[in-house]
Chains A and B, each alone.
Chain A
Amino acid sequence: MDGDRRARLSGWLSDALGRAVEIGVAERIGTGHAHEMWVVVLRDEHLPTRGDPERLVVRIEQSGVFATSVVDEARWVRALRDAGVPVPEIVAVDGEGDALGRPTAVSRFVEGADAGISSDVADDLIRHVDHLHRVGDQVGGARLPAVDQVEHWAGVAGEIEVVPLIDETRRWLLDHRPRAARTDAPVHGDVGPGNLVHDGRRVVALTDWEFAHLGDPAEDWVFLATVRGARVMPVEGWRRRIDELTGWRIPDAEWRYWEVLNHFKGACANLTALPIFESGHTPSVDMLTVATALHHHFLARAIDIVHGDPPLEARGGVGRRRR
């Protein structure tokens, strides 16, 4: 982080925190994400005797990667914190980009263990995600936004590139949407290992809420089991454990619908990295990989399920969830 940016960030955070602070160490973490992310350590000259230095996570929008908003994300995180969901504390939001030129949100750094996901952590994650799904659509006094994921992500991708297989998958999803699909449950949208902090036994925080919306819990559970959690345990293991701990389960045909939806979302969202890479805004290998290899990987998985799925079995209502 160059000197000018440090100065501007220091000034903004001093105003937001109500005391004079300076940015000490600043470490960039990752370049293939929705945000340009930094972990910064504050030098707080007015509190020279404090113990551990205060660390913050700075998330700066990257000109449209994943077509998400730090303002919406911060609103969600604050509301869910009030509802007892473990999330990082938001300390400052600059929706206009006055401080750093782009919309930015800052949260407190959450300390965690540098270890894999144990069965205890996996169980705790399931319980927290189930709690999230049950907090209702009126959180913190404000109704949370509902976004039709199929049309939203098809629109985002269509702004960038015409991809016939995305359009075909969109039509399939619209034709096969389960009648019982809910639109009122808070959904993380990208839940699982990589987007949580744990201490080795319990989940300390669920992070990265940029895909959050009101929708159907199935979206989170299937994403967890088939994408983010795939290295932790097999899909059937996740399904069984989710059922045992929460009572949630769905028939296989409906499961396939949500698997297609999640991979469709991934294909569309990852495509947003293409203009960021091609414009030279973020010419990183990570950004290129997201725009090409990850986009194609998610798209291939979606259409392979679509093509292998018996359409009549999946069409319409295919059973109800059991709580």
Chain B
Amino acid sequence: MASSVGPERAGGVAGRAVDPSADSTRAVRPSERALWTAVIRTLDESIRPSVADAATVHQIDRVIALATYARERDVDRARATAEHVARIVGADDVVDVLSDPGDARREPLRRVLRDELQRCLDEERVLLRGFGFVEDDA
């Protein structure tokens, strides 16, 4: 009787046959989001309640802010924005286009760059709060 885990299936993962139509060859990898959520919840629910020193609690809050930033930011967006900018300016210099009032591409380009800046600021707001910075400051 043939074994289901015999030598003929040695190329499989964990002894099972490989299905070339599915991504079954990769190792088990939890998502980045799940990892950062674990960091945040461990710090928030397990570590902070047991710390009495106010300065240390503040440091824990800062690390929670960092982890939240890492979890929430869109790491793929920078490439999409760069491609969008390239579609607008082609082979021309971005700053030349931005600085030329007669260039019809100027305003669309500004909007793309300003929107990207705003999205960065939205993602980074959690860092600013921990820094003790009020947005009205500037």
Contacts and interface: CB of A to CB of B under 8 A. Distances in A.
B131 A32 contact: yes
Contacts of A226: 138
A165 B117 contact: yes
Interface string A215-250: 000000000001100110000000000000000000
Interface stretch (A79-87, A91-99, A197-205, A293-301): A293-301
A307 B110 CA distance: 9
A173 to B, nearest CB: 12
Main secondary structure of the interface of A (DSSP, over half): helix
Interface string A159-193: 00000110110011000000000000000000000
Contact of A293 (B62, B113, B121, B134): B121
B117 A299 contact: yes
B135 to A, nearest CB: 7
Interface residues of A, number: 28
Contact of B124 (A171, A172, A296): A296
A303 interface: yes
Contacts of A296: 117, 120-121, 124
B113 A165 contact: yes
B138 A297 contact: yes
Contacts of B131: 32, 286, 289, 293-294
Given A164-B113, A285-B62, A298 B138 contact: yes
Given A296-B120, A297-B121, A164 B127 contact: no
A230 B98 CA distance: 31
Most buried by B among A286, A289, A298, A301: A289
B138 A227 contact: yes
Interface of A: 32, 164-165, 167-168, 171-172, 226-227, 230-231, 263, 266, 285-286, 288-289, 292-294, 296-301, 303, 307
17 contacts: A32-B131, A165-B98, A167-B95, A168-B95, A230-B136, A266-B138, A285-B65, A285-B130, A289-B128, A293-B121, A293-B125, A293-B131, A296-B117, A296-B120, A299-B117, A300-B114, A300-B117
